[in-house]
Amino acid sequence: MTRVFFCPNLRQKSLTNITSLMLIVPCLACFSCFSCLPCFSPSVSILFDNVHKAFGPKKVLQGFSLEVKEGETMVIIGYSGTGKSVAIKHIVGLLLPDQGTVFVDDQEVPKLSRRDLYELRAKIGYVFQFAALFDSMNIADNVAMGLRKRGNMSEAQIRDRVAEVLDLVDLPNVQDKFPAELSGGMRKRVGLARAIALRPSYILYDEPTTGLDPVTSAVIDQLMVRMRDRLGVTSIVITHDMRSAFRVGTRIAMLYEGKVRQVGSVDEIRNSGDEIVRQFVEGRAELDTTAGV
Ligand SMILES: Nc1ncnc2c1ncn2[C@@H]1O[C@H](COP(=O)(O)OP(=O)(O)OP(=O)(O)O)[C@@H](O)[C@H]1O
Ligand SMILES: [Mg+2]
């Protein structure tokens, strides 16, 4: 199928649902701005637009805006408790913004009907920060859950897919075990397997390597890169692990005080001139703001 790039001008006019036209040349609406060639850059897949979110008096997101382009891996870094998990929960409608909005594939998530939201969620794999497995189900059933819910595969196909994704996360032969029998790191990898089993267009990874040993972390990083390069998956990865961030990110955004402090390429973040970003990236204990001390 021909690759479709949306024209941002059309996007603004909310006419982007004309996917069937298969736009491979600039559309008429943007003929006037032909020189900027916006139609040939990857389209924005996920857009946070000035999102505010508070829990009671606690303001978490305070004007969070971020664009994630099709096919890229956006890494979100930031101190614990700054709202990274809160931010990505807006993508699947687990949380609704108090102000601002979120788009996925040109669909405004907070405005979707329950049915459309379920359809959207079917395209998104979510690797939760805390594996979120069902203790009463064995690993095979945990991984197969989404596939069964979708209802378009036979039990034999499901069994094969479960074995395939467990292999991918380096956990062969755990199908019959229960979550309590696995280590925290293994449970995390099962969560990852469950997300990729659905072959989603998007994957949201919330701290996929936290608590894993360096070798397993490297394997998971490799897997995330493979999902992007081979399957064209668009991802957001939340991590504190800068080594992993530099390995998997096409771009990195730092969330600080409810907003994006800086977003840029791996090199831009690695060599950031922003003191707050540098402090985080270098893992320094505290910001020394008192000269001479
Ligand atoms: N459902 C909720 N109800 C009330 N407060 C919440 C809720 N979810 C998150 N919070 C609060 O929002 C703030 C941000 O939480 P969040 O989990 O997004 O942080 P984080 O950046 O992901 O941190 P970490 O790196 O530790 O995972 C925290 O103070 C948290 O207690
Ligand atoms: Mg979190």
Ligand 2: distance of its center to the CA of 240 in Å? 10
Give domain limits for the chain: 1-41, 44-282
At 38-54, the pLDDT tens digits run 444 568 799 999 999 99
Token reading at 51: 């999102």
Ligand 2: distance of its center to the CA of 107 in Å? 25
62 C-beta closer than 6 A to ligand 1:
no
| Residues 261 and 277 sit within 8 Å (Cβ to Cβ) | yes
Ligand 2: distance of its center to the CA of 130 in Å? 9
Mean pLDDT in runs of 10 for the chain (293 residues)?
A: 37 34 40 42 85 97 96 95 96 97 95 94 86 90 92 93 90 93 87 90 91 84 86 92 93 97 96 94 66 42
Three-state secondary structure of the chain = CCCCCCCHHHHHCCCCCCHHHCCCCCCHHHHHHHHHCHHHCCCEEEEEEEEEEEECCEEEEEEEEEEEECCCEEEEECCCCCCHHHHHHCCCCCCCCCEEEEEECCEEHHHCCHHHHHHHHCCEEEECCCCCCCCCCCHHHHHHHHHHHHCCCCHHHHHHHHHHHHHHCCCCCCCCCCHHHCCHHHHHHHHHHHHHHCCCCEEEEECCCCCCCHHHHHHHHHHHHHHHHHHCCEEEEECCCHHHHHHHCCEEEEEECCEEEEEEEHHHHHCCCCHHHHHHHHCCCCCCCCCCC
| Residues 162 and 119 sit within 8 Å (Cβ to Cβ) | no
84 C-beta closer than 6 A to ligand 1:
yes
Ligand 2: distance of its center to the CA of 213 in Å? 19
Q: Which of 85, 90, 238 to mutate to test the pocket of ligand 1 (most atoms within 8 A of CB)?
A: 85
Q: Which residues pair with 69 in a beta bridge?
A: 44
60 C-beta closer than 6 A to ligand 1:
yes
* pTM: predicted TM-score of the whole model, two decimal places: 0.81
CA neighbor of 192 nearest in space, from 251, 233, 229, 247: 233
Nearest ligand to the C-alpha atom of residue 77: 1
Question: Based on C-alpha coordinates, what's the Rg of the chain?
Answer: 20
At 210-261, the pLDDT tens digits run 878 888 888 889 888 988 887 889 999 999 889 999 999 999 999 999 999 9
188 C-beta closer than 6 A to ligand 1:
no
Task: Give the integer Cα–Cα distance in Å for 76 and 78.
Answer: 7
Ligand 2: distance of its center to the CA of 81 in Å? 7
Token reading at 217: 């972390």
The pLDDT of residue 111: 97
85 C-beta closer than 6 A to ligand 1:
yes
129 C-beta closer than 6 A to ligand 1:
yes
Per the CATH hierarchy, to which homologous superfamily does domain 44-282 belong? P-loop containing nucleotide triphosphate hydrolases (3.40.50.300)
Token reading at 180: 């309590």
